C-alpha cells in the first residue's frame, strides 16, 4: 500500500529557489512516509506561458541532465520514487513540457513529453512546446506501476486509456491550471468541476488511482486554483488540498483492493476493439 505525496506550491521568479523549496518538500514527504512524490507542472519556473516571450526559452534545461541527476541522488538517499515535470530543451528551437520518473534506488526510468498542447488566452503553450513524441508509458517503480500525463492531457480519455493499457495502476497529472478574472465569477465553479470530474472519470473507466497536483498563487492575472487531489478507482476523492495554501498532500493507495476491483469491473475484457476505428479520425464524417 504505497503512500504518495503531491507537492502543491507557490512559485517564484527564481529558479534556484523553486528547486530548493521543492527538494525540501520532497524531504518532508519522505520523512512522513511517502514512497512516491510528485511535483506540479513546470515546478522550476513561474507559469511563463501566460504570454509569448522568446526570452523564456532560457529557462529550459537538457533532460536528462543536471536536474534529473540531482533527483536521482535525492531518490537514492531517501528511498523514494520522484515524479517531476519541467521545461525541456531538446535543441535550440525545439522544446517540450516534460516529466521524468526516478525510481527509489536512483535509477532514471525515463521521460514523458506532454502530448496535448493547449492554446488559450493566458495559456500560450503552442508558442513554447512541441507536442510529445514518446507515446504513453507505464513506469515500473519499486512501489507500483505508474503513468504520467501532464495538464491538458487530463481532458483526453484516450491518453488515460492508453496509459492504463500499458499497465499503469496510478495516473499522475502534474498540472498548472487556474482562473482568469473575467471568467471566474460566471464560469469558475463549472470550470473546476469539469476539471476534477473528467479526471475522476478516467480513474473509473480504467480502474486506476488518479493523482492530480496543481500549483497555487496568482501569477499575472491567472489565479491558480490549487485543489490537488487523489481519487480512487471508483472516482471517490480520498485526499484533497486547499484552493490557496501550499500543501504536501498525502494518500495511501491500496493496490490489492484495486486488483480485486478490476476483477469484478472488467472494462478491459469487454472493450469492443473491433468497433473503435473511428477514434483515429479527426471527426466522424
Given a contact cutoff of 8 angstroms between Cβ atoms, the answer to whether 99 and 116 are in contact is no
SS3 string, the chain, reads CCEEEEEECCCCCCHHHHHHHHHHHHHHHHHCCCCEEECCCCCCCCCHHHCCCHHHHHHCECCCCHHHHHHHHHHHHHCCEEEEEEEEEEECCEEEEEEEEECCCCCEEEEEECCCCCCECCECHHHCCCCCCCCCCCEEECCEEEEECCHHHHHCHHHHHHHHHCCCCEEEEECCCEECCCCHHHHHHHHHHHHHHHHHHHHHHHCCEEEEECCEEEECCEEEECCCEEECCCCCEEEECCCCCCEEEEEECCHHHHHHHHHHCCCCCCCCHHHCHHHHCCCCC
Distance between CA atoms of 4 and 169, rounded to whole angstroms? 13
Out of 38, 41, 208, 211, the active site residue is 41
- Active-site annotation holds for 151: yes
Cell numbers at 267, concatenated = 472494462
For this structure, is 19 an active site residue?
A: no
Choose, from 38, 138, 151, 208, the residue flagged as catalytic.
Answer: 151
Q: Which of these is catalytic: 114, 137, 138, 219?
A: 114
Q: In what order do the strands lie in the sheet with 170-174?
A: 139-141, 144-148, 170-174, 209-213, 229-231, 237-240
Q: Is 240 a catalytic residue?
A: no
Residues annotated as catalytic are 41, 114, 151
Amino acid at each position: 500500500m504505497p503512500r504518495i505525496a503531491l507537492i502543491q506550491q507557490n512559485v517564484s521568479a527564481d529558479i534556484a529557489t523553486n528547486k530548493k523549496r521543492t527538494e525540501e518538500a520532497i524531504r518532508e514527504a519522505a520523512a512522513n512516509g511517502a514512497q512516491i512524490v510528485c511535483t506540479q507542472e513546470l515546478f522550476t519556473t513561474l507559469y511563463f506561458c501566460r504570454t509569448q516571450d522568446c526570452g523564456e526559452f532560457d529557462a529550459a534545461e537538457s533532460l536528462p541532465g543536471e536536474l534529473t541527476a540531482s533527483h536521482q541522488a535525492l531518490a537514492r538517499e531517501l528511498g523514494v520514487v520522484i515524479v517531476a515535470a519541467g521545461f525541456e530543451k531538446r535543441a535550440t528551437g525545439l522544446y517540450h513540457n516534460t516529466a521524468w520518473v526516478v525510481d527509489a534506488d536512483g535509477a532514471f526510468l525515463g521521460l514523458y513529453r506532454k502530448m496535448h498542447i493547449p492554446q488559450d488566452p493566458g495559456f500560450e503553450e503552442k508558442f513554447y512546446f512541441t507536442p510529445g513524441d514518446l507515446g504513453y508509458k507505464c513506469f515500473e517503480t519499486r512501489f507500483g506501476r505508474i503513468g504520467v500525463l501532464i495538464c491538458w492531457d487530463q481532458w483526453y480519455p484516450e491518453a488515460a486509456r492508453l496509459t492504463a493499457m500499458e499497465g499503469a495502476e496510478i495516473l499522475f497529472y502534474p498540472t498548472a491550471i487556474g482562473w482568469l478574472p473575467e471568467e471566474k465569477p460566471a464560469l469558475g465553479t463549472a470550470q473546476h468541476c469539469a476539471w476534477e470530474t473528467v479526471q475522476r472519470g478516467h480513474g473509473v473507466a480504467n480502474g486506476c488511482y488518479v493523482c492530480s497536483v496543481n500549483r497555487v498563487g496568482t501569477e499575472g492575472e491567472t489565479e491558480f486554483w490549487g485543489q490537488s487531489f487523489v481519487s480512487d478507482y471508483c472516482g471517490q476523492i480520498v485526499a484533497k488540498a486547499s484552493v490557496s495554501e501550499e500543501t504536501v498532500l498525502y494518500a495511501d493507495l491500496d493496490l490489492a483492493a484495486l486488483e480485486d476491483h478490476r476483477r469484478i469491473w472488467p472494462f478491459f475484457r469487454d472493450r469492443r476493439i473491433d468497433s473503435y476505428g473511428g477514434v483515429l479520425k479527426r471527426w466522424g464524417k
